[in-house]
Every structure is written in C-alpha cells, then in structure tokens.
Structure 1
C-alpha cells in the first residue's frame, strides 16, 4: 500500500482482506435462514397470498397504466380515486414482479417472490459486522457476529414479517434487503453510488428508509480534522473529494424521488400524495381530521412500542395478543442493552441519529402497524439497532444470550401463529383495543 492509499500491484487493503474470509460463513448463514424461513412458510409457499396488491399493480404497469385493469378482489387497503382503483404502496416490489406477472398473470406467487429476498439482510448484516471487526471498530468476535445475525433473523419481529408474503410484509422484507446493502456499502463511504442506489431502492419499498442517510454522511466525514461545529461540518461537505462522493450518493435517490412525485401527480394530482389518504377503509374520517402524520398519533405508537404485553387468561387459548402487537422490548429484550453502552463515539452517535431520522415518521403515523404480532415498523431500523449493540462494546454474556434465546422463542411463536392461528389474537376490528379488557 502506497502512502497515498492506492493499491500496489495486486495487494489488497486491510478492509478488503477482512471482507473475503467471512463470505463462506455468510453464505452458510444465508442458506440456513432460507431453510428456516422456508420451513416456517411451509404450505404458504404453494400459492399466492390473498393480499397480492403488488401483482395487480404489476399487471397495470404491464398494460402501460397506473390504475388497475380490473377491480380488486376485496376491499382491504386499496385506493379508489376518480372512479379508478390504485395501489398506494411504494412501487418497486410491483416493478420487480412484472416479469413474473407477464408469465403467470394474477397467479404469480408473491409469497415465493418475498421468500427469495427474505434471508439477504442476514448476509449483509454479517458482512457489515465483519467489516467493522476487521477494521477494529467493534470488539465482537466472528462467533458473536454470527449470533447477532441470528438475533436479527430469528429473535426480532423480522422473523414473523419475513414469512408472510402479503403486500405490507413484502414491502418490509424488500426494504430491509436494500437497507442492509446500503448499510454495508456506506461503511467508509467506499461505494457512494451503490450506497445511494440501495437507499433509493429502499425508499421505493419503504418511504422512511430515504431518511437513513446520516450513516453515509458520517462515514464520509469521520476522518475529517477539526470539525468543532456546524460550520466546520457544512464546510467539509464542499471539499471536492467529499462533494464528489455526496453527488454520486445522492443522484439515484434524487431520481427516484422525482419518479415517485411524478407518479403521485399523475394518479392524485398532487406530487406529495402517495394515496393512503384515499384508502378505501373504515377510518377515513381519521385521515380527514388529523391527516396521515400528526402529534395526535404519537401516544398510541409509543404505547405500541413500549407497553403492549400478551393478555393472559385461565381459559384456552390462555394467551391473546392485541392486533397492535407486542412491545419491542418484549419481542427482543436484548434491545435493552442499548440503554447501557460501554463505548460511545462517532459511529454510535451516527447510528442513533440514523435510527431517529428513520423512526420518527412511523412515530407520528396514523397506523401502529395494525394488524401485527409485534411492532413491525421497527424493521425499517432494526438492522441499525443490532449494529448499535456491536458498536456499544458491552460484553455479550450468558445473560445476553439467554435473552436472545427468549426472543427467538417469542418470535418463533409469532412467525408460526400469525395469520394461521387466529385464536391467539384479538378479534377487535376497530383499532381501538390496545390493552386487555377489564
């Protein structure tokens, strides 16, 4: 390696050396989770879901139009505007389904499609952790990094999300896929264009992911000297070596943002209206009174994240879960370790800012994620939270791994029962029932 940082001959940089060895382990993890998710999916993989909105949208795209070519099969979460039917969810999953829908039409298996992406975030999370370990930026061992990947894949709400295959969960699985790739390629800002592409594609699956950009900006500027205030940080953006990478990073997200705004305008005559305001649901009066994002919804979302527990009774089935799901700390208790990091620093702060920027939209959103086993909107930033556990530097003791096992048990129950065993879930259809009735 020469003093200016360029490779001499075929010599590899230390960071490149740290990436190549774990690829075999990473692919073993990938295959293992495909097996786990495939077994959990089981018979669901044999046919398309009943909520295959993206298939209908893909068919519309194939016919050169934005509105559906025929009325939807049921009334759940479709948009009717100016006597036409639309899908209001971000369009990338539908775009990716177009070749399959071209061949199989409305029989295209959206569950199998979702399954194909489901294990990819685990691979990128592992590569991210190993990259940081190879640089000495985290103190976890390879075995512990494998354990953290198992935590994400089986010990968080991502598990139940990954094995549904319906429109809401397809968006989240693909969003997590592109978020994990963005996270990996953002490190050291070494692949700015690819990181930007992943961020933009994530946005076209889950809108809040567009706001996870702080991680890249930190990785770009972390080695700058004398950044003592906002003026210094802003000034560093305009250094050509940094500005060039920022432009490479931002170009694709800017293009897809314009693309999304054009689609919104063509459908709803408003570039900022993606359609949820016009959903054909029972609680549209809530939208007209409070809008889609409002402080009014904050307390409900915080209650969902922090307070909801299983309802216990003395009669079968003994356990009932609110349709608003379970508290995040209950489904994944090791997240409590985030409250007591041993080490803090630039990356630690950048990750928390990234989590805040990404999470704030769902905190003020009109929906808690209902109907769900656990707080599913956390999937937008769970990868960053798992990364924070590693960056926090606290020793992963037997207590930690015991809590991981507890989380795996809880989320296995959710992955198996959600959508299959309604007796374990509240029958409320009003969105009003958060806690066990007295």
Structure 2
C-alpha cells in the first residue's frame, strides 16, 4: 500500500521536484528584492547583539511594534535565523525573497517525498505537486518574499518535512526539530502539537507504539520552548508572545487600544474571506481582478475538495482532519484575514495536512474531474502571480 521511501529513485524524484519548485519561484520573482525585509533587519540586529531594529527601522510600512522605547519585529523568528549567514556576509543587502524561493523548493521536494511514502504514483504526484505549488498561495508567497509570506513558505516547508519523517523512519528527534522550525515560522501550528505527538507515539502510516520516540520528541522540544520563553521575556517581559496583541493595540487601521486580537466576533468575516469572497469582474481588460483583501478558496483552490474523499486509513484520515481544524482555529478567531494578499494565505498553515489527505484520496488514481479542478487551481494561482507582478508589484518591488 505504501511506497518504500528509501529507494534511490524516490530520493532523486524528491530532489528534482524541489529544484523545479525553487526555479519556478525564482522565475516568478523576477529578481525581486522585497522592501518588507523584516527578517533581514532582525538577523542584522541579532548579529549586533540586540533584538530591536531601531537604527534600521524604515517606518510603519513593516510590522514592527514599539515596546519600551524600541521597535521589535512581531513575526516569528526562524526565517531570520535561516537568513542570518547571508546577512553576516552582505549585511542588510541580503535578499529575503531568495530565501523564500529556496524554502519553496524545500516544500515541493518534501511534498513529493511525502506523497511517495503515502503510496501515490508518480503521475498523480505530479498533479498534486502542481496543485501545492501553484494551486495554493505557496508560489505567490514565495515569489514576493515579504516578511509575512516567507514565514508562510517556511512553515509549509518544515511542516511537510515533519510529516515526511512521520511517514518514514518516525524518529522523534527529527520530527521535533522540523516541527519546532515550523512553529518558529508560524506559531499557529502549535495547535497541531497533540496530533503530532500522537503520531510519533502511535504511528502515522502503520500503528506501532514507540514510547522512546515520544520521549525523544518531547525532550527535543524542551530547549525550543525554553528559547521561545527567553525570546519573549527579552522583548515583552512575559513568557508568551505578546507581540501580536501589542500590534493590535497599535494598529491604526483595524486594531483597538484594548482587548485581544482573537475573538468569536471575528469568525464571520474570516469565514467570508475563506469561503465566499469572489474576484471582481470588469468590462475592460484585464476583466478579472482579485480582491487585494483576499479571494475565497472556492475560486483559488477548489481542488482542496479532493481531501474530503480520503477514507483510509481511517484513523490517519481523522487525525489529519483534527490537525487541519486545530491549526485553522487561530486564523478563524484573528481580527485580520491576512491583509493584502492573493487568495487566503493563512490557509497555508493547514494545507500540508490537506495535501496528505489529497494524497490518500488519490492513491488509486485521479479522475478527470479532479484533474480539471487542479488545473483550475493552478491556473488561478499563476494568474494571481501574473496580476500581482503586472499591476500591484511591478518591477523589483
């Protein structure tokens, strides 16, 4: 039922998929050097022994909050650590978009390896990889490389690596490292922690309880959470990440001077953004215009419906849906739907789990109807990238 991931051919195919994914992102990026290079600024600050970016702060166009007289980057720090060696070499001229494109390659390579381990044939895997790359916001986020978007690409890459390890050797230490890097890119993924831990202990593709693997997983995560607490204490003087709450209080457009950025009252707007919002139609070229505040998944990624067809292994399917819903919850409660974007970029937080479900659903082949939906999704994604490059972010911006 499930493929042997140790075959040289499987490793070659995954490497090839990763290379092609990175090349595609690089081609669409057009050599872009993003002006929203928060992670470059954070890496530069770290190299100078501090966490604030005051000397390099370009102004309010980037998400940097004021706390104790200093400006701090709000976004989760792993992409800054990844680009730190390049910043050490060339300083703040380092290209954050390049990092996003390389992580896009990691994501597509890991996705191919995961699909092969799920027993998906190469022909079907090609369709699903095309969907992941262009039918979701992965390509769009990667070609821009803005702070918010490189974080999304990084989270997808490391979540898929964690799932790939779970579907393979299931070494607790490696699962923990990959999952910690995903958390350090988009902390919303912490919601999947119980499911990930259960998979480490009880099994992913085959049920086999491994207490030692779970112990290794837990012990490896301990220093990560200790560093996370120390990082928050250094910035906000509390053990949790208060950055987004501070940003919400300082946001002059959608925020509030008091309260939490998370609330039940935000759910209707989020549900509209995820499932209803449609693009605008015009009588003149280019005729179709994506909403800059987000376009619903029914238009950009209708092939996600394939995930609903997955039935077996029953326990794995249920667990993947649990992980999907848990990770989606913070986005549904958040006061902002992702800002200026094509599609709904917050869906990338849980789409690795949906990709696994799509793989399980397609192990016996992919019917023509599903191929049409994948083709639609990919075409919509390429069109979104083209629209942004042509009308909203032309040139090296």
TM-score, normalised on structure 1?
Answer: 0.82
Secondary structure at the counterpart of residue 118 of structure 2: helix
Asked if the contact 1:317–1:423 (Cα under 8 Å) also holds between the matched residues in 2, the reply is no
Deviation at 1:111, TM superposition (A): 1.4
Partner of 1:238: none
Residue 352 (str. 1) matches residue 333 (str. 2): no
Asked if the contact 2:26–2:98 (Cα under 8 Å) also holds between the matched residues in 1, the reply is no
Partner of 1:129: 115
Alignment CA distance shift 1:253-1:34 (3 Å): same
Correspondence for 2:155 among 158, 172, 175: 175
Alignment CA distance shift 1:15-1:419 (3 Å): closer
Which stretch shifts more, 107-116 or 14-23? 14-23
Count of matched residue pairs: 386
Asked if the contact 2:293–2:338 (Cα under 8 Å) also holds between the matched residues in 1, the reply is yes
Alignment CA distance shift 1:300-1:16 (3 Å): same
Deviation at 1:190, TM superposition (A): 2.2
Correspondence for 2:293 among 324, 329, 354: 324
Secondary structure at the counterpart of residue 177 of structure 2: helix
Deviation sequence 1:288-312 (CA, Å, 0-9, x none): 24x1211111111111110011111
1:178-197 equivalence runs, <5 A: 178-187=158-167, 190-197=170-177
Asked if the contact 1:188–1:220 (Cα under 8 Å) also holds between the matched residues in 2, the reply is no
Instruction: State the distance in 1 between where 2:126 and 2:17 align.
Output: 8
1:108-257 equivalence runs, <5 A: 108-133=94-119, 140-187=120-167, 190-213=170-193, 214-218=195-199, 220-222=201-203, 242-257=210-225
Instruction: State the distance in 1 between where 2:31 and 2:213 align.
Output: 46
Partner of 2:20: 32
Asked if the contact 2:53–2:72 (Cα under 8 Å) also holds between the matched residues in 1, the reply is yes
Correspondence for 1:409 among 356, 366, 379: 379
1:37-48 equivalence runs, <5 A: 37-44=25-32, 48=33
Alignment CA distance shift 1:93-1:313 (3 Å): same
Correspondence for 1:379 among 328, 348, 351: 348
Asked if the contact 1:344–1:392 (Cα under 8 Å) also holds between the matched residues in 2, the reply is no
Deviation at 1:373, TM superposition (A): 0.5
Secondary structure at the counterpart of residue 160 of structure 1: helix
1:220-369 equivalence runs, <5 A: 220-222=201-203, 242-279=210-247, 280-283=250-253, 285-286=255-256, 288-289=258-259, 291-341=260-310, 343=312, 345-369=314-338
Partner of 2:359: 390
Deviation at 1:161, TM superposition (A): 1.3
Deviation sequence 1:332-356 (CA, Å, 0-9, x none): 1111233344546011111111111
Q: Greater Rg, structure 1 or structure 2?
A: 1
Deviation at 1:131, TM superposition (A): 1.4
Deviation at 1:38, TM superposition (A): 1.7
Alignment CA distance shift 1:21-1:293 (3 Å): same
Partner of 1:89: 75
Deviation at 1:118, TM superposition (A): 1.4
Partner of 2:55: 70
Stretches of 4+ moved more than 6 A in 1?
none
Instruction: State the distance in 2 between where 1:109 and 1:314 align.
Output: 39
Correspondence for 2:93 among 87, 100, 107: 107
Deviation at 1:96, TM superposition (A): 2.0
Deviation sequence 1:155-211 (CA, Å, 0-9, x none): 222121121111111111111111111010112662111011000111111102233
Instruction: State the distance in 1 between where 2:309 and 2:86 align.
Output: 48
Residue 20 (str. 1) matches residue 5 (str. 2): no
Secondary structure at the counterpart of residue 390 of structure 1: helix
Q: Which runs of 5+ in 2 are unaligned?
A: none
Secondary structure at the counterpart of residue 214 of structure 2: helix
Alignment CA distance shift 1:218-1:98 (3 Å): closer
Aligned CA-pair RMSD? 2.3
Q: Which runs of 5+ in 1 are unaligned?
A: 1-13, 134-139, 226-240, 425-438
Asked if the contact 1:175–1:202 (Cα under 8 Å) also holds between the matched residues in 2, the reply is yes
Secondary structure at the counterpart of residue 421 of structure 1: helix
Which stretch shifts more, 117-126 or 309-318? 309-318
Alignment CA distance shift 1:181-1:17 (3 Å): closer
